[in-house]
Structure 1
């Protein structure tokens, strides 16, 4: 006969330790820090209960006494890095503050390249994430809109930043795997594109590239992207 269905459980709803028994050898902070170190060094796929236990110097089964499943481990990691967000006194200029939030999130994702893969509402209610969301809403106090609209703004900004950074990281990873330099790769692709545009088969694309033939300023592109999202809500 099939066993009883598992009951959904949130790790933050459980006490870190009970009042009885010896003091635990590890804390959630210890475990999260070990998992984050592992992911930073080797990528998210390297994070397993066995590897984290080894990083801590304990047995895998011992780790299950603290974290019952890998999803809880991911949630601890998300909370740990969310604690790196700087929470400042809102300036009163909601656009300026949300720009600052977006730039900080981008920097955080570059420090922890595995982070875009875990960006999900599933991990959106840990203590540090809640503090971050409350801070964002405080920054949006001068923005005259319902809280639902403000939450949509925060979610859209996070989504756009996550997608942008994921593309940056993927491009950088691909470049590292090439047997030649990034400049050589770019030159070969530009030469090919030039030949195709010169064929006359793509007049609009040719006009587009002729209009702005200089190198792409990725920082300027990121800034314009943020402004267009904020413009949409303003």
Structure 2
């Protein structure tokens, strides 16, 4: 699914070849594996060991195939990544249609997107490299744009809002996972020491606004409540039409 120009250099993934089903039946023996099987193995490997562990050799070993045989199903790792992103996106549970309360629907959509990215921690890092939208991604996008219709935003603005909110979710999940890894490695003692240091440094270095932010009263929020609060602020700002 990768095109090669006259110079012989790779020109990128061809979306028509990648996502349009082949019409010609294969002759001879049925294939030993399938593209879906290979993609599922790659997703499972990335879930378990991270995106860096996904190589054609490692995926082939996971399904018990020779490395070179994979190239008859998936021509390169770039194409495999496109397939992985779309297969993971198929786990995004979508209602049959919008409820009519667009704010609630939008919050539910991006809460589900956060849950999806936490199930596949490699996904936020993979999304910037995506070149094309597969069928599962398009289904999610179509639903989100339908949800945004009552806002009065034109189609292009709604698409921009979707992209910005998706980017926020990916960034937030990346931060969440990194914080959880740090907490697991260093424990509460490090966190408390970090807070004490920042408060002290803000005062002694003459940063009153930082000091005010760090010492302001407020209940400690759960991760879910923190996400919801930030998501609501993003929705309010991005969907304002006045």
TM over 0.5: yes
The SS at the match of 2:38 is: helix
* 1:73 corresponds to: 80
C-alpha distance in 1 between matches for 2:178 and 2:236: 28
1:59 aligns with 2:95: no
- TM-score, normalised by the number of residues in structure 1: 0.88
Q: Residues 126 and 143 (structure 1 numbering): CA distance in 2 closer, same or farther, change over 3 Å?
A: same
Q: Could you say which residue in structure 2 is the equivalent of 1:92?
A: 100
Q: Which moved more, 1:115-124 or 1:44-53?
A: 115-124
Deviations 1:107-160 (A, max 9, x none): 111111101011137344111111111111222232322111111111011011
User: How many Å separate the matches in 1 of 2:68 and 2:116?
Assistant: 32
User: Counterparts of 1:17 and 1:120 in 2: how far apart (Å)?
Assistant: 33
Q: Is residue 41–residue 59 contact of structure 2 (8 Å, CA) maintained in 1? A: yes
**Distance 1:143-1:196 versus aligned 2 partners, 3 A rule:** closer
Match of residue 25 from structure 1: 32
1:209 to 214, 223, 229: 214
Unmatched segments (≥5 aa) in structure 2: 1-5
TM-score using structure 2 length: 0.85
Aligned to 1:82: 89
1:16–1:174 distance in 2 versus 1, CA, 3 Å: farther
* Structure 2: distance between partners of 1:116 and 1:37: 16
1:207, distance to aligned residue in structure 2 (A): 2.5
Compute the displacement of 1:187 (Å): 1.6
Unaligned runs of 5+ in 1: none
Checking the alignment, whether the CA contact within 8 Å between 1:90 and 1:139 is kept in structure 2 is yes
Runs of 4+ in 1 over 4 A off after TM superposition: 5-8
Q: Which range moved further: 223-232 or 150-159? A: 223-232
Query: Contact (CA 8 Å) 2:183, 2:191: kept in 1 or not?
Result: no
Q: Specify the SS of the correspondent of 1:140.
A: helix
Match of residue 233 from structure 2: 228
> Aligned pairs, how many?
230
Residue 124 of structure 1 contacts residue 130 of structure 1 at CA under 8 Å; is this kept in 2?
A: no
Per-residue CA deviations over 1:141-195 (Å, capped at 9, x if unaligned) read 323221111111110110111111111112222334x3x42x1111211232343
Offset, 1:5: 4.3
Counterpart-to-counterpart distance in 2, 1:121 and 1:147: 24
Question: Structure 1 residues 151, 123: CA separation in 2 closer, same or farther (over 3 Å shift)?
Answer: same
How far did 1:16 drift?
8.8
Alignment of 1:130-169 (within 5 A): 130-169=138-177
1:186 aligned onto 2:194? no
Which of 47, 50, 54 does residue 47 from structure 1 map onto? Answer: 54
